[in-house]
Structure 1
Amino acid sequence: MSVTSPAHPIIDDSAVFDRADAIPGLPHEQVVFCEDAASGLKAIIGIHSTTLGPAMGGTRFYPYPDQGSALTDVLRLSRGMTFKAAIAGVALGGGKAVIIGDPTTQKTPELLRAYGRFVDTLGGRYLTAGDIGTGAEDLDIVGESTPHVLGRTATSGGSGNSGPLTALGVYQAMRAAAAVAWGDPSLTDRVIGVEGVGKVGSELIALLAAEGARIVATDVDRAGLARIVERFPDVTTTDDVIGEKLDVYAPCALGATLTESSIERLTASVVCGAANNQLIEPGIDDLLHRLGIAWVPDYAANGGGLIQVDGERAGADADVTRHRVEAIYDTVTSIFERSASESVATGRAADQLVQERLRTGRTA
């Protein structure tokens, strides 16, 4: 149905609902479009589910080519956060926000405060944190306008950068997958291709290097890649990590890198990384399963940052939070066990666990 009036252009009001309802039985609860002319803010907040608790999800500041792309991203990411929270066993729901723009040129304190005011209007139904393009210092500014912020700097009472604990969770997930693929969780001498060396990928490389893995890395940010090589001289760089001969492929940048064509070129036995929404479409999960590639569902692997901010919210001790992140190893092991016992792909096995928790309203 389209609506028109002399004062407004034609609006296709089916577009949001059709896209938000793309997953049968799991529609989004609320999608909020935010615009502040004075600061230039254009943002979208997606609340997918509050079944297990308030919707939690970071704020991505990114130069989307158009608003449709931003909407697609926030819908996929907020749904992913529901699954991430459920699989992690925390009392949180799924949400996400995107700010449309280039954070290197358009991010200002005024814009962040305006964004905080929009978050505040949701009354705690949505809790925001950091993501691509936003960090703990930015969240301090957002927090000037709303208390519904997690992941601020330690001096502002927050738990700080979530990169290290997110990376730790991915590392433990990778070890669990290695145990399935090779009968041993050790990553020593394994060739691991890390795609994306940002705040999570760089920390993952540090963990892998400490264990003696052989690392091949890539990133569109050439300066960031150069910093990694300076820090870890044994790291090899490439423009095409999937094309390298690998034991493990670790996507840690943007999603949708796993496609039929990319899998045809993939030599890795394990796929495990920090990127969200790694599959271009759900059927890719079955293809990986048929090929015997041990894929760790992204929302199971990359939940360390979510566990961190949940611990911040609950006032948990840092050691307790770290132990919960390390337990991602056990979660991933249980997913592979279900996958084997029910002869289903790992993504489907993980989804079944999430659906059970959402139906019963149960956290771990």
Structure 2
Amino acid sequence: MQLNLSDETPPAGYERLLFVEDKTSGLRAYICIHSTACGPAAGGCRMWNYASQSEARADVLRLAEGMTSKNAVAGLGLGGGKSVIIGNAASDKSEALFRAFGKAVNSLQGQYYTAEDVGISPDDMAMIAQMTPFAVGLDHGDHGSGDPSPFTAEGVFQCLKVGAAEVFSSGDLTGRKVLVQGLGHVGMSLAEKLHQAGAELIVSDINADAIAQAQARFGASVCAPEAVFETDMDIFAPCALGGVLTHETARRLTARLVCGAANNQLATPDVAETLRARNIHYLPDYVVNAGGIISVAGEIHQAGPEYRQARLAGVAERIQQILIASRETGKTTTCVADEMVASIIADARAQQAGAA
């Protein structure tokens, strides 16, 4: 193992950005700590075939900042961080690569906890955990939480029903046209819940096998990826990668409600205003998709299932509060949520200063 750890200068407001390279295993990765104001940073590890190192760097920065908001508003006593491994998850995985990554995580001495994200499975995380106790989302142990995807999907589903009640005056999804974009672990689980709730399911994905599965299991209709924003729907559930809502796609979107599991769905923050101007209710992604990190937090804090269930229930309650505040103040839901986060972090920093 020839592990090299290189600190890069992070943007203002970030605490640490580390580039990790191991020539023996082929590992190239970033670990970013955005904030530890509320506690040690926590956020998943993503393995993606980035076009360049700079693209991976931009992604980890964006995702780490989002984790600070997600963990703060969910009340988890954790800060925000993220990691990305540059590589093809279908062909580039090896035990040596994951052990090298685990050693890099361990070098941060508990400042950052990692878990599964896109391209990483519980089995992969178990290999990382061979080298560090700061790898979570494990299937074993007294407090092992396993794959966080089902918890994420459940949180999104509960929020979607709250949003439907706000927009359509009923949380009953029977007959509602819901388009799920992205059928990974979370998207497929959400599709199943929507099917069971009686929704008219539309699915879109580049993975033909996942599409076939959704058709066979749920009777879903299929939308080509390039036709998503022209498709007639009531609710849009983006569950693939981020940045799908631009000013242009927001102007084409037919849905009246957006609620999905993808991180960083808005290409830029001001897209929220475009959505609001069209009377489309957007439920902030970092609030609704907190179920996975809630599950992982239970493992980090060595808490029982009651911890997870209580905080998972709190996700939908928080969305209800955000919708009410948005309606009463005229602010976008993202503005309301961001103000909540800023207040939580300011309080945490004040407590840190008082304890110093």
Q: TM-score range by the shorter chain?
A: over 0.9
1:4 maps to none
How far residue 319 of structure 1 moved from its aligned partner, in angstroms, is 4.5
Q: Distance in 2 between matches of 1:29 and 1:360?
A: 18
Q: Distance in 1 between matches of 2:287 and 2:143?
A: 27
2:104 maps to 118
Q: Distance in 2 between matches of 1:323 and 1:196?
A: 28
Does residue 1:235 correspond to 2:227, yes or no? no
- The 5 Å alignment of 1:141-220 reads 141-154=127-140, 158-220=144-206
Deviations 1:15-56 (A, max 9, x none): 954xx23xxxxx110000000010000000000000001000
- Aligned pair count? 342
How far residue 80 of structure 1 moved from its aligned partner, in angstroms, is 0.1
- The 5 Å alignment of 1:39-54 reads 39-54=25-40
Q: 1:123 to 1:176 in 2, by over 3 A?
A: same
Which consecutive unaligned segments of at least 5 residues does structure 2 have?
1-6, 352-356
Is the 1:46–1:95 Cα contact (8 Å) retained in structure 2? yes
Is the 1:140–1:156 Cα contact (8 Å) retained in structure 2? no
How far residue 286 of structure 1 moved from its aligned partner, in angstroms, is 1.1
How far residue 157 of structure 1 moved from its aligned partner, in angstroms, is 5.3
Instruction: Between 285-294 and 194-203, report the one with greater CA deviation.
Output: 285-294
Is the 1:28–1:48 Cα contact (8 Å) retained in structure 2? yes
Pick from 241, 253, 256 the counterpart of residue 269 of structure 1: 256
Amino acid at match of 1:127: Y
1:32 maps to 18
Which consecutive unaligned segments of at least 5 residues does structure 1 have?
1-12, 22-26
Pick from 331, 336, 339 the counterpart of residue 352 of structure 1: 339
Q: CA RMSD in A?
A: 1.6
1:61 maps to 47
Report SS of the residue matched to 2:115. strand
TM-score, structure 2 as length reference: 0.93
1:95 maps to 81
Does residue 1:259 correspond to 2:224, yes or no? no
Report SS of the residue matched to 1:83. helix
Report SS of the residue matched to 1:273. coil
How far residue 155 of structure 1 moved from its aligned partner, in angstroms, is 5.8
Report SS of the residue matched to 2:173. coil
2:320 maps to 333
Does residue 1:281 correspond to 2:263, yes or no? no
Amino acid at match of 2:151: L
Q: Distance in 2 between matches of 1:156 and 1:119?
A: 22
Report SS of the residue matched to 1:105. coil
How far residue 251 of structure 1 moved from its aligned partner, in angstroms, is 0.3
How far residue 324 of structure 1 moved from its aligned partner, in angstroms, is 2.1
Q: Distance in 1 between matches of 2:312 and 2:90?
A: 31
Report SS of the residue matched to 1:153. coil
Is the 2:71–2:80 Cα contact (8 Å) retained in structure 1? yes
How far residue 327 of structure 1 moved from its aligned partner, in angstroms, is 2.3
1:343 maps to 330
How far residue 241 of structure 1 moved from its aligned partner, in angstroms, is 2.5
Deviations 1:133-180 (A, max 9, x none): 101111100000000011011368521111111000101111111111
Amino acid at match of 2:163: A
